[in-house]
Structure 1
């Protein structure tokens, strides 16, 4: 059985180094081949195109709604600056993750990167933050799907919980069917949503007026207030979480590494192309929606693109089309976020950070419990609270912590292991990941400006998870899990160098 040793035996000079590992790990499951055999994913299911579609799918619902609430925090100028800064943060983070995912192409994603760079505590802190994002975000989005279905008058529903149930049951079922089928479905729905955004922009730009961009009344008591910054300089900071909505989730692409074709090449390519598409959609959507009817008209709208097309008038053929396409965008993000959450849960469970039974896979190589249990939790949260905005704010809190830790992992590995084989290298190196790190910490603080209750709820969830790790799971880690072996190899190499 593979295990972590408190005092590894000396390694003969002529022998390869034995993997070192943190003390206290379990001795029962590590080297048992059957353990990992029951926890394998279907490799080679996704090429760069499906991975690119996955990256856009995570995010595309944010173009249809949510971002506009940042206008009520910072005005057009404040949200524009916040979006530019958050776009820069995501671009820097994506380039950093492209390098890390080429080094360690496993389902652990951010947890695996942080595990090697920051140790077991860093790995768990990062993985838990990612889980908070990817379990809470689907619960929030399914509430928005229910609201859309009701507002469109579909199926004559007057309550949304049946929609929540159908969405979780149907889309988890597709994931259980197989990852290739799931990602192809996601690509089709995402393509419909992206096409709808571009069609919306063409229609909205015919009504564009620059005078409407700064029509939000100015708060004269705010420091630095103007027509472009109606809530002052602080409004820029408060708008950070809403600028993130144009990009939130794209960092989840590396979670598909174990199911990708040639992940060393396809991951950097998919991440870069996804980010390029999202930047284009963010600029086009932001300008078209605010310029068509004015920032003040869309700042509080639940469906800002429809408001931008209709104003106070009657529905048009284009606004109806965009309304239905918004539902497609929500479905695409909901579907892909379920995938991301299940893979992060799978990786943490396989390595023993979370209960190991959660990483068991079916005959079709799907982590069925990693799909079903978060799905049941998400349905319960959605049906029990109905507060999608609060859950999304909690998800954003978790996301910002993970971004800071993943960027820090890139910095640490560049400094500590400069000779590590890097098939892809981040443009700008440490300067790029340092920018992502600073901006992520700024966004983390901004979450307290938007929703203190959501931030403190996330802190409480984090504290419970850390207590579980401190008192139980860190003593039962599985040394043969891919991310743990990768980190153990680094420790062994360091030990050999010291000798």
Structure 2
């Protein structure tokens, strides 16, 4: 496969190499490590408010606790690996750029497409959850449905079009509200903590290895993997802000690691406080488990109302930040020619407007036509686990094949750390089939269609001067000199 530079400009067209990238430039230096840390937490924080508790129905308290621990280890190992990779190649391509250098064009496209599936489907699902919250809270006399989904996409994409600095500051404020509410919730819920309720889910006598802590047996641990991921799903998107970051080689590793640290604390507090306050059985099927944990008799309290409104803030923070991540991944893949190039055009405010509008239109269409938020999140998780495995593999390959590559930050434990992430990511990928076979098959079909497009059309139309392609070309040139 050869990289083909763009054709020479035709008279008056302005479509030469310099003009091409001038029309595809992001606003540099818009974010420091604090805003990026907030972005990393924002990707994930909605998962603390709902969704994770369905893992109790799959594995019980013990099964979900072990799943959360293992998935936490996977994300921690992956985050340390991504911190190193992002210091090597700080571009908007994120994980796709790392895989492009390590695994070639096919590996880059496989990774980028998996990430894109995650970041297009997750906002669509969250818009549905926002609609449910709006209806349950009785806000604006609205009911859940397409007008709410449309309002979400229009308003928040509009803020992104305004500018990345403004968008990240908005996300930081909303995320701060959600995190504060989680801490207040934990304080209130721990005053009602009763350890006897942790293992109150009935035991399945036919399940292998079943007991009161593992009521669905050992297989329940594996089935709970996708729900253990909900406490951390999305944090890997921090490197996608690389080209809009001040001193990215130093800032990105710091922000990624701090984000993960905050998320671990929130995960432990939320999980233990919720199950301890009401018992696992009472919240395993709750659409709003934190509120359910604070209302033993079903009657709202002042604290439960606060948490309920904060849950909406958490959903908005994740929705808003995931739109950002999806637009940057689409921008990078398009700029390099993997997807149609027009999708990477930027506005006068340096926002990838088509990268925001096109996924937004797709997400709104899916939300309005299906209304199946849980199913779309399962598809997103499938894409995420593929990208995790490929990004971890990229770290291993680059460490072994290019040990002399400049690494401003180095992963503690080296390839042993990324190998742990790789094994656990593969286990989580298989677990998605245990939870929702239909969603996994749909994700595979979408993945297959994207790969067919790349194999038939775009693989011979890559843009040689795109940052990720230049990085790969440099590696090839260095290999020839050895």
Summarize deviations over 1:320-367 as a string: whole Å, max 9, x none. 000000000000000000000000000000000000000000000000
Checking the alignment, whether the CA contact within 8 Å between 1:351 and 1:484 is kept in structure 2 is yes
Partners in 2 of 1:158 and 1:247 — Cα distance? 30
Checking the alignment, whether the CA contact within 8 Å between 2:134 and 2:144 is kept in structure 1 is no
One of 453, 477, 480 as aligned partner of 1:492: 477
Q: Secondary structure at the match of 1:41?
A: coil
Structure 1: state its 5+ residue gaps: 1-21
Q: Secondary structure at the match of 2:40?
A: helix
- Aligned position for 2:7: 28
Partners in 2 of 1:31 and 1:203 — Cα distance? 61
Instruction: Say yes or no: does 1:262 pair with 2:241.
Output: no
One of 388, 411, 426 as aligned partner of 1:403: 388
Instruction: Say yes or no: does 1:170 pair with 2:155.
Output: yes
- Aligned position for 1:457: 442
Summarize deviations over 1:51-94 as a string: whole Å, max 9, x none. 00000000000000000000000000000000000000000000
Partners in 2 of 1:464 and 1:348 — Cα distance? 16
Instruction: Say yes or no: does 1:43 pair with 2:28.
Output: yes
Instruction: Say yes or no: does 1:386 pair with 2:365.
Output: no
Checking the alignment, whether the CA contact within 8 Å between 1:128 and 1:465 is kept in structure 2 is yes
Q: Secondary structure at the match of 1:289?
A: helix
Equivalent pairs counted in the alignment come to 476
Q: Secondary structure at the match of 2:53?
A: helix
Partners in 2 of 1:311 and 1:457 — Cα distance? 39
Question: By how many angstroms is 1:31 displaced?
Answer: 6.5
RMSD (Å), alpha carbons:
0.9
| Aligned pairs (5 A) from 1:200-349 | 200-349=185-334
Question: By how many angstroms is 1:256 displaced?
Answer: 0.1
Partners in 1 of 2:89 and 2:17 — Cα distance? 22
Checking the alignment, whether the CA contact within 8 Å between 1:107 and 1:343 is kept in structure 2 is yes
Instruction: Say yes or no: does 1:109 pair with 2:88.
Output: no
Checking the alignment, whether the CA contact within 8 Å between 2:6 and 2:17 is kept in structure 1 is no
Question: By how many angstroms is 1:446 displaced?
Answer: 0.1
Partners in 1 of 2:376 and 2:300 — Cα distance? 31
Q: Structure 1: which 4+ aligned runs deviate by more than 6 Å?
A: none
Partners in 2 of 1:159 and 1:167 — Cα distance? 12
Partners in 2 of 1:158 and 1:323 — Cα distance? 17
Q: Secondary structure at the match of 1:67?
A: coil
Question: By how many angstroms is 1:313 displaced?
Answer: 3.1
Structure 2: state its 5+ residue gaps: 9-14
Partners in 2 of 1:153 and 1:262 — Cα distance? 45
Instruction: Say yes or no: does 1:363 pair with 2:342.
Output: no
Question: By how many angstroms is 1:28 displaced?
Answer: 1.7
Partners in 2 of 1:305 and 1:196 — Cα distance? 11
Instruction: Say yes or no: does 1:147 pair with 2:126.
Output: no
Checking the alignment, whether the CA contact within 8 Å between 1:223 and 1:234 is kept in structure 2 is yes
- Aligned position for 1:413: 398
Q: TM-score when scaled to structure 2?
A: 0.98
Q: TM-score when scaled to structure 1?
A: 0.95
Partners in 2 of 1:122 and 1:297 — Cα distance? 44
Summarize deviations over 1:377-436 as a string: whole Å, max 9, x none. 100000000000000000000000000000000000000000000000000000000000
Instruction: Say yes or no: does 1:66 pair with 2:51.
Output: yes
Checking the alignment, whether the CA contact within 8 Å between 2:3 and 2:464 is kept in structure 1 is no
One of 85, 90, 110 as aligned partner of 2:70: 85
Question: By how many angstroms is 1:154 displaced?
Answer: 1.0
Partners in 2 of 1:427 and 1:102 — Cα distance? 14
Question: By how many angstroms is 1:32 displaced?
Answer: 1.1
Summarize deviations over 1:273-300 as a string: whole Å, max 9, x none. 0000000000000000000000000000
Q: Secondary structure at the match of 2:227?
A: helix
Partners in 2 of 1:352 and 1:43 — Cα distance? 22
| Aligned pairs (5 A) from 1:414-433 | 414-433=399-418
Moved more, 25-34 or 320-329: 25-34
Question: By how many angstroms is 1:26 displaced?
Answer: 5.2
Partners in 2 of 1:125 and 1:310 — Cα distance? 45
Summarize deviations over 1:445-483 as a string: whole Å, max 9, x none. 000000000000000000000000000000100000000
